[in-house]
A and B are shown apart, each in its own frame.
Chain A
Amino acid sequence: MSVVLAAPKKMIELSVDGQPVRVFEGSTILDACRMLGNEQPTLCYGDTLTPVNVCRVCVVEVEGARTLVPSCSRIAEPGMVVLTDSERVRTSRRLVLELLGSSVDLSTAPEALAYIEEYDAKPERFGPDAATVAQDVKIDNDLYVRDYSKCILCYKCVSACGEDHQNTFAIAVAGRGFDAHISTELDVTLPESACVYCGNCIAVCPTGALMSVAEYEKRQAGTWDAENETVVSTVCPYCGVGCNLELHVQDNEIVNVTSPHDHDVTEGNLCIKGRFGYQYVQNRR
């Protein structure tokens, strides 16, 4: 039997912050930056998702381009001259973070908070009356909590629920402009929607807008203890697929279940059983 090999890929060379770098044709600018160990801030980018480049915190300057370009999705070209830390880039990133920080509750978004500090962003500059997306928390089922006051509209949950992974299409972006929001059809509750509770949306949410009920309740009770969390790897016992599980344990109790993104089969996804069916492990009677 012959082995079909993909056509060999060409290497191209570009420069990032003055340093030459060679990447495979088709790589993004972000890939090129990472080859150099030059990490860029990202919020809507997900390593297992198709880039939607909407958050705009990863923008970089490309010589000759009229505007800044999103490094997460812009394909690198031979001879490109990229600047990731120019004044223009820093100004854009800072203001974008200020726009997010002034309109969204980022209190459970560690990456965003770290970028705000790194770029010295001051979300409070827009004053106390700046419009926000604050709204009531949605708790309409036993497994998920949806707090869209914390939603930066990164589209990750929509991609994970839809074409990129789950193909359930229970949620989509509805409305327009500042009123755009993640919604089920006609905003029905999750139990009335197409949701199958795989939790793959929770797994990709970068801000804690989507959270398991277990985590939400612990945070409400003040017993959430991420600092002392340990992670145990195992294999899901439910079916023959053999998904790898990472059990997140706090105080000898499983609080969340994830799957490694580099796992061939799951790419970080699970089903309702793998994600939420862990109670039997800790039934200590």
Chain B
Amino acid sequence: MPDLRLLNAEPSEAERSAIDAVLGAGTDANGRTARDDRTKRHLLLPALRAAQLRVGWVSEGALGYASRRLAVPPAEAYGVASFYALIALEERPADVTHVCTDLSCMLKGASVPDGAHPSPCLGLCERAPASYRTIAGEQPVEEQIPAAGPPLPQAGQPGLRLLRRIAAGVDPESIDAYIQAGGFESLRRARELGAEAVLHEVTESRLLGRGGAAFPTGVKWAAVAKQPAQPHYLVCNADESEPGTFKDRVLMEEDPFALIESMAIAALATGSSHGFIYVRAEYPLAHRRLQNAIDLAHSRGFLEGFDIELRIGAGAYVCGEETALFQSIEGFRGEPRNKPPFPVEVGLFGKPTAVNNVETLFNVLDVVDEGGKEYADTGTQDSTGTRLFCVSGAVARPGLYELPFGSTLRELLDLAGAEPPKAVLLGGAAGAFVGPDLLDLRLTYEDTREAGVTLGSGVVIVYDESADLVGALLRIAEFFRDESCGQCVPCRVGTVRQEEALHRLAEGRAHEDELETLAELAQVMRDASICGLGQTAANAVASAIVNLKVFAA
């Protein structure tokens, strides 16, 4: 690296060995710096994470050593490290607590003690208020700390599909228990059918993506399968960070083998030889159980010809956007790319890539087991199968509910034990508020679209009469301001102006045309932002103004 100017500070022994554990020894058989290190930029985030888990922060020495090993210019490495909220570039105690102050935890009276850090949604909304703690060291600790939790709702109820193994209490750490519960039968059947037939069944099932965008899975897979460029990649988007969402966490923690199995089927159908699961950092139990499931599935020979690598985020909601997720895996700032080209053509490492949400992939098992046509018998014409709903807030039984598409919001709230609400937030911070007039809304893609709202990632946060809706709007505005990647002007500055305007409205010092300004901001952020984050950052606020008249004089 003759031209690369490097940071002068040296890493400590602990930092060096933590980074070496991720990157390898760094020298070849002759003791020279390994040449292929420079193709490993994608290991930048794992290396920084390792250093931080070891000593609690990323020092100049650690940043410089990781840069040097991977031939990444230090300015770029700094740009990457400073992008992610969970990476600390200043020294701090080894023991760090992040306290969720987001929508659901707010409703349960979350408060941040001295020395703790406020955090966006931690995905423990059914057991709010929650926190997340890391203790750096030789044996680092990472744990989520929920409030006293309810058991999983619906346990033992008939008709559960996605949640059936969880309801039956199948041991999530035992591959034998999974096999006994019928595990890996779908993969066996998929291999008998072959790639073409699996694609056909998935297309027939009319399965739509469950991450928020509702794209037809069969169309996506077929598009990847036919791409001449090689290799193809399969990416499971498990960066679940939409405030109020926790479904993917429950699936990964309690039924990890099913995700591995469904990914193997997806790999078969799309011709992918390598898969990644990108999980947010705040889900340590999911990391452990998924890695265990990957290792066991490998050792039992279920994953022949297909590798799955677990990648862990570092605190960035925007990395749930598929192209930002690629950037993050590749070792860059999580800045979304312009589309087109779409990931099916130019995705991870520039190759054709199928990206699917965790819940979407779970559905594939049933599609293969039952056949696409039969799968589509559940639900409605345009919304097939069942859907997971993350219910939290003012309900007696918060938790994960699986219902066939077509059930109404009222039926769901009855199951969860809600009094007639003042408002419900559907789809999370990027979703929309609805009032009690929409309780008979059927929870399907087509009905919500017609009503001008969204199912998004399945979030249902219930606000009762005592709830502070303006406070919720301020929190949502703060969330988007914090999580904007900063790349494009409408989102970078628009989210700030939105928050400022809401503060003025909340404090009774609004400009004369404040509501018009907010409406125009919403239109332009939706129209001119690069990615879904900016395009939806004004949705909830706009819906509360229109549907709930929160600021009506």
Contacts and interface: CB of A to CB of B under 8 A. Distances in A.
B481 A177 contact: yes
Contacts of A75: 340
Interface string B40-67: 0000000000000000000010010000
Nearest to A152: B489
A153 B486 contact: yes
Contacts of B500: 126-127, 129-131
B497 A102 contact: yes
B63 A54 contact: no
A74 B339 CA distance: 9
Nearest to A129: B500
B520 interface: yes
Interface string B73-90: 111111100110100010
B127 interface: no
A180 B75 contact: no
A68 B5 contact: no
Contact of A175 (B83, B513, B523): B83
B526 interface: yes
Q: How large is the interface on B (under 10, 10 to 19, 20 to 34, 35 or more residues)?
A: 35 or more
A186 B486 contact: no
A59 interface: yes
Contacts of B89: 186
Interface stretch (B166-174, B186-194, B363-371, B527-535): B527-535
A92 B483 contact: no
A174 B79 contact: yes
Given A91-B520, A96-B524, A103 B79 contact: no
A193 B5 contact: yes
B333 interface: yes
B199 interface: no
Contacts of B77: 185
B497 A194 contact: no
Given A167-B3, A169-B76, A88 B489 contact: no
Given A54-B487, A177-B484, A177-B485, A169 B75 contact: yes
Interface in A72-122: 73-75, 88, 91-92, 95-96, 99-100, 102-103
Contacts of B75: 169-172, 183-185, 193-194
A180 B485 contact: yes
B7 interface: yes
Nearest to B497: A126
A53 B530 contact: yes
Contact of A91 (B63, B85, B523): B523
B517 interface: yes
Contacts of B7: 185-186
Interface centre among B63, B490, B529 (most CB of A within 10 A): B490
B376 interface: no
Contacts of A88: 527
A176 B78 contact: no
A67 interface: yes
B340 to A, nearest CB: 8
Contact of B4 (A55, A91, A194): A194
Interface string A32-68: 0000000000000000000001111101000000011
Interface centre among B7, B488, B521 (most CB of A within 10 A): B488
B493 A102 contact: yes
A56 B489 contact: yes
A125 interface: yes
Contact of A92 (B5, B78, B481, B524): B524
Contacts of B340: 74-75
Contact of A173 (B60, B333, B489, B511): B333
Interface centre among B316, B333, B494, B495 (most CB of A within 10 A): B333
Interface secondary structure of B, over-half rule: helix
Nearest to A184: B75
Contacts, number: 158
B338 interface: yes
A67 B488 contact: no
Interface string B117-141: 0000000000000000000000000
B546 to A, nearest CB: 19
Contacts of B513: 125
B297 interface: no
A167 B76 CA distance: 12
Contacts of A73: 338
A70 interface: yes
A151 to B, nearest CB: 12
B289 interface: no
B482 interface: yes
Interface centre among A102, A127, A129, A171 (most CB of B within 10 A): A127
Given A73-B338, A167-B3, A194-B74, A177 B483 contact: yes
A168 interface: yes
A178 B493 contact: yes
A227 interface: no
A193 B340 CA distance: 36
A262 interface: no
B492 interface: yes
A271 B343 CA distance: 38
Contacts of A176: 82-83, 85, 316, 484-486
A142 interface: no
Contacts of A129: 500
A150 to B, nearest CB: 15
A136 interface: no
A179 interface: yes
A174 B338 contact: no
Interface in B491-506: 492-497, 500, 504
Contacts of A92: 490, 523-524, 527-528
30 contacts: A53-B338, A56-B488, A56-B489, A70-B338, A75-B340, A88-B527, A92-B528, A95-B494, A102-B497, A125-B513, A126-B497, A127-B500, A130-B500, A131-B500, A153-B486, A153-B492, A162-B73, A171-B75, A172-B78, A172-B79, A173-B333, A176-B82, A176-B85, A176-B486, A177-B482, A177-B495, A178-B496, A183-B75, A194-B74, A194-B75
Given A185-B63, A185-B78, 18 more contacts: A53-B338, A67-B526, A91-B523, A92-B527, A96-B489, A96-B524, A127-B500, A153-B489, A153-B492, A169-B73, A172-B78, A175-B486, A177-B492, A178-B486, A180-B487, A180-B492, A194-B4, A194-B75
Which 7 pairs across A and B sit closest by C-beta, in order of nearness? A180-B486, A169-B73, A194-B5, A172-B79, A185-B74, A99-B493, A177-B484
Interface of A: 53-57, 59, 67-68, 70, 73-75, 88, 91-92, 95-96, 99-100, 102-103, 125-127, 129-131, 152-153, 162, 167-180, 183-186, 193-194
Interface of B: 3-5, 7, 60, 63, 73-79, 82-83, 85, 89, 316, 333, 338, 340, 481-490, 492-497, 500, 504, 511, 513, 517, 520-521, 523-524, 526-530, 535
